[in-house]
Structure formats: structure tokens, C-alpha cells
Amino acid sequence: MSGRSLPSRQINIVLRQPEPGMHRRAVDGVGSLTHASPLADAEPQLTGKKTPLEGPLSEVFKELNQLIGLDNVKELVHEIYALLQISQFRAEAGLLSNAHVYHMIFKGSPGTGKTTVARLMGRMFHAMGVLSKGHFIEVERADLVGEYIGHTALKTRELMKKAMGGILFIDEAYSLARGGDKDFGKESIDALVKGMEDKKNDFILILAGYSDEMEQFLATNPGLPSRFPIQIDFEDYPIEQLIQITELMAKDREYVLLPQTIVKLKQHLTDEKAATWRAFSNARYVRNILEKAMRHQAVRLLSQYVNAPSKLELMSIRPEDMKFK
């Protein structure tokens, strides 16, 4: 395979501010525009992004915006939401509103938020009426590939059936193509492609995995890239964002990282990312580090105190609690 990256097709939507003479009316909590005359005479002005203020959709966007980093991912989710909302407005106005295909490719290292975002998307598509259930089914090669001819197609069809009305998320999807033409993984790919055609509006398929491997996987079948109109890269987190993620995880558990602890963690993450950049698991890695530190803190406190430690001590993760070996 050449080093040329496959094109990434994405939807680009902007919401604009009303021009003079327009007024707002509420439609399901989202402002729509009406005009005193049939046609607009001036270019509307660009305004900030509109997101729902209440209901299930507002919760989805609240959780999405609380995620650290992922700016390009958040932009894409908003574009999809905007397209769906505008499609509803077009239908209400008697305009043509074509159904879109939302099968996706998520490319990136482990621990970069792919599964979390896929779950949020399932809830968004359900709230917008695209998916009847919005539930989330996560599988990998072992769940799809059988042990004899015909078994794989059966397993794959059964999982697609369970995913109807929701999201089917296949992690490390490139592993389905690793065995060559005689491997049963190809049978699963064929069954998935057929299911995507036959039931294209009944479920959304998201394939996820390392960027390079996913591009090689798509290159194995010329028809695959066009079946996934939305492809997005989940970048590795920089050190500062990894620190923010760790502090947020600690806060959620009612712990606090002392300043010296953060200095020690930052140095370790710098060294670890440089040494294991290909296998570094980002947020998953710092979560494991934090949970290990919580265990070490518990052992330390039990050995240091006869009676119950103070609330501050119970919350504090000290540098000696951060052990990396």
C-alpha cells in the first residue's frame, strides 16, 4: 500500500444568524427562521453554534462538551446534529429531505474516546429519530468470526439483527481482513456489506481501530471507503490534556493530585509516550495509573495512621503513591 491517505468525506454545516426582517419561532426547543417575504435578499451573518437547551439532546451535548480535547470530533457531531435538524425543517417546509447514510470509520489509538463518542452518537441519533432504539453493541473479531464455513455469516447476521435500531461498533475492525482470502474474516466483511445495503437506514455501523491499519483495511476492498461517508481521526492526547483527564478522573472519585504528584506524573507521561508511542493507550493508561495510585495511597494510610486519617489525607494522592513499575 502506498503512503497516500484515503480521503475523508465529512459533512460541513454552519448555522447562520437571521437577517433583518426575520423573527424566531420555537420548534422543539430549537430556533427556526421565518421571513416577511418569500426569499432572502441578503446573505445571513455567521453566528455561534446552536445546541438544544433541554431534553435528551441537551444531555448528549453537555456530556460531549465536558470531554477534554476532541475538538474535531465535537465539530463533526455538531455538523451531523445540524444536518438532521435542518432536514427536519426542510421536510416541514415541503422541501426535499434526502435520507443520509451515517456509517462511520473511527481511526485512532486506544483510549482516545472512540467508544465514548460512539455511545453519545447512538443517543443523539435516537433523540433525532434516526435510530428507533439508540442502543450500543460493541463487538470484536471473535464475536463475528466462526469456526467453519457458513458459521461466520450466521454470527455476523445475528449481531446485526441485535443492533437494529442502534449502533454496531466493531473495535479493531482491521483484524477481519488480516487472514487473507481464505480467512473467515472476509466472510464477515461480506455479510456486513450486504447488511449495510439491505438495512442501511435501520442501524449504524462504526468500524474502529488504529489509523494505519484501518486505512489498509479499507484498501482491501475498493467498495468499502464509499460505504463509510464519515471518517474521523481521534488524535492522541497531548501531555497537558492527559493531566487534565487524570485530575478530572480523580475529582470524580473525590481524590486530589498534589502539585508535586502532577509534576511526577507529567515527567512519567513524557517518558512513556516517547518510549511506547505506538502502543500508548492515552486516557486508559492514566486511568490505570490513577487507580493503582489509589491502592498505594490506601496501603500508605493504613500503615501511617492508628485512627482514621483526616478528610484531606483521605483525598490526597501524594508523589509516593504514584508508582509506575
**pLDDT tens-digit profile, the chain (325 residues):** 444 444 444 443 333 333 333 333 333 333 333 333 334 444 444 445 677 777 788 999 999 999 999 999 999 999 999 999 999 899 999 998 777 889 999 999 999 999 999 999 999 999 999 999 999 999 999 999 888 777 898 999 999 999 999 999 999 999 988 766 667 888 898 889 889 888 877 899 999 999 999 998 988 877 888 899 999 999 999 999 999 999 999 999 999 999 999 999 999 999 998 888 778 899 999 999 999 999 999 999 999 999 999 999 999 999 999 998 7
Alpha helices in the chain (DSSP H): 55-66, 71-92, 114-127, 141-144, 151-163, 184-198, 211-219, 224-227, 239-252, 259-275, 282-304, 311-315
How many other β-carbons are positioned within 10 Å of the β-carbon of residue 207? 26
237, three cell numbers: 492526547
Give this prediction's pTM: 0.78
Q: Is the distance from CB of 232 to CB of 10 less than 8 angstroms? A: yes
Separation between Cα atoms, residue 104 and residue 169, nearest integer Å: 9
Q: Is the distance from CB of 82 to CB of 15 less than 8 angstroms? A: yes
Residue 288 three-state SS: helix
Q: Looking at the DSSP assignment, which residues form a beta bridge with residue 27?
A: 30
Separation between Cα atoms, residue 317 and residue 325, nearest integer Å: 17
Helix axes 184-198, 151-163, angle to 10 degrees: 40
